[in-house]
Homo-oligomer: A and B are copies of this chain.
Amino acid sequence: MHVTKRVEFCAAHRYYHAEWTAEENRRRFGKAVGLHGHNYQLEVTVEGVPDPDTGMVMDLKALKDLITDAVLNDLDHRNLNEDVPDLNGQIPTPENLAVCIWERLTPRLVDCRLARVRLTEEAGYSVEFYGEYRP
């Protein structure tokens, strides 16, 4: 049984590789080299078996509180290029963000396991990470 909670956060970022020239960055990343931002939609899916008493895989409020504490408090209303230590040295693509979010959530789940992190950067563009490799 999968249970999914979606939250949103707003952050700024730009795509810029420090070892490349400005021209190379522009050629590779286009207008994404300019500082801009997104309303990210984050869907966290946990997998488990419902508790026979409560009928819940995981209490919804507990799941929301975990996402807030482990992810939103550090990423919401931030500059992803500068304010998030575990993204240092990485281009803040949705792929890299999804792995970062996975690593923050997975050690803190008990009685169920993290099954999927889906991150939608803008309408019609999303990534899904299943923990299939470690950074």
Contact = CB atoms under 8 A, between A and B. Distances in A.
B10 A77 contact: no
Interface residues of A, number: 56
A39 interface: yes
Interface in A49-91: 49-50, 53-57, 60-61, 76-79, 83, 90-91
A78 B33 CA distance: 10
20 contacts: A2-B127, A2-B128, A2-B129, A3-B95, A4-B126, A4-B128, A5-B125, A10-B37, A10-B38, A17-B53, A31-B77, A35-B78, A36-B37, A36-B78, A38-B38, A39-B122, A50-B93, A55-B91, A55-B96, A56-B93
A60 B90 CA distance: 18
CB-based closest 5 A-B pairs: A37-B37, A6-B124, A55-B93, A12-B12, A55-B91
Chain A binding surface, main DSSP class? mixed
Contacts of A35: 12, 35, 78-79
Given A12-B36, A36-B76, 8 more contacts: A3-B95, A5-B125, A10-B122, A12-B12, A13-B37, A34-B79, A36-B78, A60-B125
Interface string A99-132: 0000000000000000000000011111111001
